[in-house]
Amino acid sequence: MENSLQYVLLGTLCLCAVPASFMDSLWSTKSHEWKKLILTHHWPVTVCKMAKSECDKIPNYWTLHGLWTDKSQMCNNSWHFDYSEIKDILADMNKWWPDVLHPNGSQLWKHEWQKHGTCAASLPCLNTQHKYFSKGLELYTHVNLNSALEKAGIKPANMYKMEEIKNAILNVYGAMAKIQCLPPQQGEDAQVLGQIEICFTKDFILVDCTEELEDELTEQMSMKWRKSYQDLHVCDKSINIYYPPVQEL
């Protein structure tokens, strides 16, 4: 792992011991327990392709989909998203964590907070909406997936093998990512690169992502958002992966 990344990870650590009283009040059932945080990036071109949407001014870089917990969702239904809590970070949210399908909207952020943020909030360092979204942005910036892929020669408008992308990320972060694709459509001979997940422990230490969680997470997503993401699966190692450029939309 690069020295710069080691420094970054030390900088993201925070004291996350969870007080028993805090856990008892909001996360009293085992169904809300979780072990990993998943920093999920999606490729805007593929997001628009799956939604069959004409996206305007689509970013030409990987953007944040969310900061997820690995085993729980919707942990506190009464804790609603409050737009005013993130006003001071809106510029960064709109740039790095945009709602690609609904520009200048907050539907994605509301969804991510209600589904995942209310569970991640069991950590004191993520226990407000401002902390949660700020930490997502911090991890996104420090991980810098866009730069890592480019340095490894993984660039849009090209075909790759699954292992090429996986190893490029492994060589930078020292941990295995989950690579997800849109399966080949009729008449196509390649799957389309769509989403990359990078995992952390509760102490924000990089750790291997595991593929067996995919079905559980997908099944738990709301029907509204499943409509956009239902075709994403862990990429097939035996099929070429196409990394589509923005110009194709």
Catalytic residue among 32, 42, 65, 111: 65
Q: Assess whether 112 carries a catalytic annotation.
A: yes
CA dihedral 217, 222, 223, 226 (to 10 degrees): -40
Q: Is the dihedral of CA 230, 195, 58, 12 positive or negative?
A: positive
Could you tell me where the DSSP H helices lie in the chain? 3-12, 20-26, 44-51, 90-96, 107-112, 118-120, 129-143, 145-151, 162-173, 214-220, 223-229
Catalytic residue among 32, 41, 111, 116: 116
Nearest residue to 99 (alpha-carbon basis) of 47, 49, 139: 47
- Cα 122 to the center of its chain, rounded Å: 19
Nearest residue to 32 (alpha-carbon basis) of 44, 40, 22: 22
How do strand 241-243 and strand 36-42 relate by DSSP bridges?
unpaired
Catalytic residue among 112, 150, 163, 212: 112
Residues classed as catalytic: 65, 112, 116
